Structure 1
Amino acid sequence: MVKPSANQPPPPMPPVVLYPHANPVGQPVRTTGVQGRVSGHQYDWGVFNRGNGEAAGFGPVGEYGVAPWAEDWSRLRDKSKRKDPFDLIKYIALNESGSIWLSFSGETRLRNWFESRPNLGTQHNNDSGRFAVRNLYGADLHLGSHVRLFGQLVNADAAGWNGYGYGSTYRKRLDAQQAFIETKWSMLGAKSGFMFGRQQFLDAPSYMLYNRETPNVPLSWNGFRAYMVWPRIRIDGWDFVQTNDSQNKMFHDTENYNTRLYGFNMTWAPPDGRFMGDRYNSFLDVFYVGYKLSGSSGAIATAQRQPERVQHTQQFWCALARHCRTV
């Protein structure tokens, strides 16, 4: 690990962290606090931007973010800061002052898996090559500093040889992946916000709930979340139903009221400490996550082989400490 000096700038993020979920299963890549402050494009969430910014509750953000709406491109209002050819579409002023502006995001992903014996040989599609492609294109409209509208489209397809397991999360006709409104304000000394509509949700430990990056179609949820961020404490509450993305027609995805996600989270950033010459910082998460699955999705077979519809409810109370080394 390289330590910055007075004559040497902090190290930039490695190229893989341009997009933080670059590893094979879509889990965020860990970075140092210095790298996050230098290369990240998060909104200003203070100490919660450290590392890959995941502690702020909006997913990891490197040069780009897992959730494109978590990226802040308002700095490009200053044209002298535009260094990349794509900066032209990252900040488009729609009025003279630049307070109303539009930002475009896009991703086209090609992915191929080769499996000699899928599922430990139980799938019987030996030497399978699964090829998948997806497109995600979004627009982020900021109406001043208090209101924003975000929309994102998705379409996807899958092919290959000896393929298997292709459902609506691999093959998707054009549909709305995300569409929400967010309002922001300052309340009780906290940066506060309310988001309503169809959206990604990444304010849960990534080992419990992440973005479903292996298939083509990521997870999206319908409902609301509200958050407040102070210098060392933040709170977040949400209530969602999952998007019913099993449709095979254009713009036919609806809400799946049989799958519900709700809860709240509080994150505390204790004062920084030092150990053996290095500076450390920590985050303590206390969260409650409820998950309900009902209807046909929750059906189980009885002894007479007739499905019995039940409601499954899972609830998690947890306190989680995360540590980050800052050089």
Structure 2
Amino acid sequence: MGAGSRRDARLVTTDELRVVIRGKPSGTSYAGSVRTQKESRTLSKWVWMFALSMISSSAWADSICPSPPPYALLRQDEDYSYLRDPGCKRDFLDPIKFISLSPQEDQYLTLGGEVREWYEVFRNANWGVGPQDRDGYLLQRISTYSDWHLGDGIRLFGQLSSATVNGRNGGPRPVDEAQLWLEQAFAQFDVPAFSSADITVRLGRQEFRFGSGRFVDVRDGPNVRRAFDGVSAVLDVGGWHATALVTRPVLNRPSVFDDPSDTRTTFWGLYATKAVSSMGGGLDLYYLGINNRQATFDRGTGDQQRHTFGARAFGSKGNWDYDWELTYQAGSFAGLPLSAYSFATETGYTFKSIPFAPRVSLKAAATSGDGGPASGTFGTFSALFPTGIYFGQAAIGLNGAPNLLALGATFKANLSDSIQLGIGYDLFWRNSLHDGVYGLAGNLLRTGQESRERYIGDQLSASIVWRATRHVDVSLAYAYFFVGPFLTASAIPGRDVQYGSAYVRFKF
């Protein structure tokens, strides 16, 4: 092989590449210069083709790889099947989100969890009644789950949690501590059905959240979340997404694996939701039933069977958004016929064209209270298993839904893409003067037999949330409750309440 052939076969040097930019190098023949320029152009063409192919491949990968899903309130709702494609694994924790269990990769395991550190402090907790703690206390929640997708529509899901409280005078409240408990453990099966319907059945311990969370919610704000033991079925047909369930609520206790089903309470129902484009949102219709052998209200303690029928409309149109809900309850309590109602509405407006896109909203709610022995019926409304933050922008959680008239306003602003500010102001009255004031869980806080005053008080609250990364969020909150005549005129006069909290949470 001649020198020219050897030169054609070797890599082009840096000096030869400069020919394209600077022209013929000194001391090089004209023929050699032309050949060098041709080789340089050929090399440049291949470099550009390779670069374009890489850009195209990256763009193609972006088009087929969805963005990582946000961490859901119910972790079983997250879907990481797209990570079957190794090219879609971009987050440093993606390797544990899709662990293949079969060569065909139709079976896989997902791991995840959460660590939350929450500090809170009260001044005059429970309006000054009971043990007080001016130094505050630390609430810690650690949770981990495994999600086994075993193919043929079979799935196993398990979640372990530890919730502890440190430094609280008076010890833990029921929602503060469960040192180690099985939060969820269910088996899921796809059921063959009509071609136009999908049915999934879950057996075991599981969590639920329906609609706005006003009646059934996982109660994420408090340290110990809410779970149920039983069976549920999810049906998707004709644009409707419906969940039917027959369960017993879990009784949380502070030690290790001592959280049984509440055998005194049975909870069942059907909750259906459908997207409606003309509403800019959707419509919820539901029936929820509960039988409780030890229900306590201001009227007394007795067996209750309560049937809840409701409808909720929600959505947005332009800058406006709305969430309206109407509910009626029938049944019996302690041998008396039961008749109760609830109406709740929030209507908001977002100023999308100005900095921070602030949103203002007005809220109104009315829930019935008992009319007293002379009424012949029992009228206290029950919110069943509501969210842990029912009013305001902070988890102060003083008064709950029963026997209430409430008006409120909120202001929210996006200070940046990751920081949101919220401010709320709420006013509370008793609906019936024959009934008392209740907590978030429906527990009686103050009897209504000691005062004829209606006004309970008003609450100012504020919070700021920083979503530092997809995995980390930080929050600060403050609330001040100004007691009204009903509380100040009680046998033990109520005092203004101050509340502050800070938390940091890591999810994976």
TM-score if structure 1 supplies the norm length?
0.70
1:322 counterpart (314, 317, 320)? 314
Match of 1:115 in 2: 122
**Residues 97 and 109 of structure 2 are in contact (CA less than 8 Å); yes or no, is this contact kept in structure 1?**
yes
Whether 1:170 aligns to 2:162 is: no
**One-letter amino acid of the counterpart of residue 240, structure 2:** I
| 1:220-239 alignment runs, 5 A limit | 220-230=227-237, 232-239=239-246
SS at match of 1:98: coil
Larger RCO of the pair (alpha carbons < 8 Å, separation 6+): 1
> Displacement, 1:244?
2.3
Match of 2:87 in 1: 80
Whether 1:310 aligns to 2:302 is: yes
**Residues 182 and 196 of structure 1 are in contact (CA less than 8 Å); yes or no, is this contact kept in structure 2?**
yes
Q: Deviations over 1:161-214 (max 9, x none)?
A: x53461353222222111100112452212220011000011354112211223
| 1:47-196 alignment runs, 5 A limit | 63-123=70-130, 125=132, 127-160=134-167, 163-164=169-170, 166-185=172-191, 187-188=193-194, 189-196=196-203
**One-letter amino acid of the counterpart of residue 96, structure 1:** P
Q: Deviations over 1:218-254 (max 9, x none)?
A: 1000011111113522222111101122262x32322
Q: Deviations over 1:238-294 (max 9, x none)?
A: 11101122262x323221111221111222323x24xxxxxx622111100112221
Rounded to whole Å, the distance in 1 between the matches of 2:121 and 2:308 is 36
Structure 2 unaligned blocks of 5 or more = 1-65, 320-508
Match of 1:242 in 2: 249
**One-letter amino acid of the counterpart of residue 290, structure 2:** Y
**Residues 118 and 128 of structure 1 are in contact (CA less than 8 Å); yes or no, is this contact kept in structure 2?**
no
Match of 2:270 in 1: 264
> Displacement, 1:107?
0.6
TM-score if structure 2 supplies the norm length?
0.46
Match of 1:8 in 2: none
Rounded to whole Å, the distance in 2 between the matches of 1:96 and 1:210 is 39
Aligned residues: 253
> Displacement, 1:215?
2.4
Match of 1:3 in 2: none
Identity %: 25
**Residues 112 and 131 of structure 1 are in contact (CA less than 8 Å); yes or no, is this contact kept in structure 2?**
yes
| Distance change (3 Å), C-alpha of 1:301 and 1:120 | closer
| Distance change (3 Å), C-alpha of 1:269 and 1:81 | same
Aligned-residue Cα RMSD (Å) equals 2.5
SS at match of 1:65: coil
SS at match of 2:83: helix
**Residues 156 and 187 of structure 2 are in contact (CA less than 8 Å); yes or no, is this contact kept in structure 1?**
yes
In our comparison, the structure showing a higher alpha carbon Rg is 2
Rounded to whole Å, the distance in 1 between the matches of 2:139 and 2:207 is 21
Rounded to whole Å, the distance in 2 between the matches of 1:39 and 1:80 is 13
1:252 counterpart (254, 258, 268)? 258
